[in-house]
Amino acid sequence: MPDGRIQTNSPKVISAQELLKRYADGERDFHNIFLRQVDLSGVNLQSINLCGAYFSYVNLVFFTCIQPRKNIGNEYNNNHHQSCCPS
């Protein structure tokens, strides 16, 4: 029976500091997040799940994640990002 709440799958806006702290604490599932105006250059986030993540003005120079599906280095991306989705 519905409880009257509206459920959405809209992305949650988080800061780079929050992402890095949660990653350091062992969290790896960051699907549907929204990162805006952050610098992730040189960051190595092995086994991170960024499926459905949105990036706006994010510096990804030399960013490393699991099995990227396309070259994302040296790019400012304002689009839906799927390079780090697990296969």
Examine residue 22 and state whether it is found in any structural domain, yes or no.
yes
**Structural domains counted in the chain:** 1
Q: Rounded to the nearest 5 degrees, what angle is found at the Cα of 55, between the Cα atoms of 50 and 60?
A: 85
Examine residue 2 and state whether it is found in any structural domain, yes or no.
no
Burial class (CB within 10 angstroms; exposed 0-12, middle 13-18, buried 19+) of 34: middle
Between 52 and 83, the more confident residue is 52
Examine residue 7 and state whether it is found in any structural domain, yes or no.
no
pLDDT score recorded for residue 75: 44
The domain in which residue 67 lies consists of 12-87
Over residues 16-42, mean pLDDT: 92
On whether the CB atoms of residues 67 and 45 are closer than 8 A, the answer is no
Between 28 and 84, the more confident residue is 28
Name the average pLDDT for the chain. 75
Percent of the chain scoring above 90 in pLDDT: 28
Examine residue 4 and state whether it is found in any structural domain, yes or no.
no
> Taking the model in full, what pTM does it have?
0.64
Examine residue 6 and state whether it is found in any structural domain, yes or no.
no
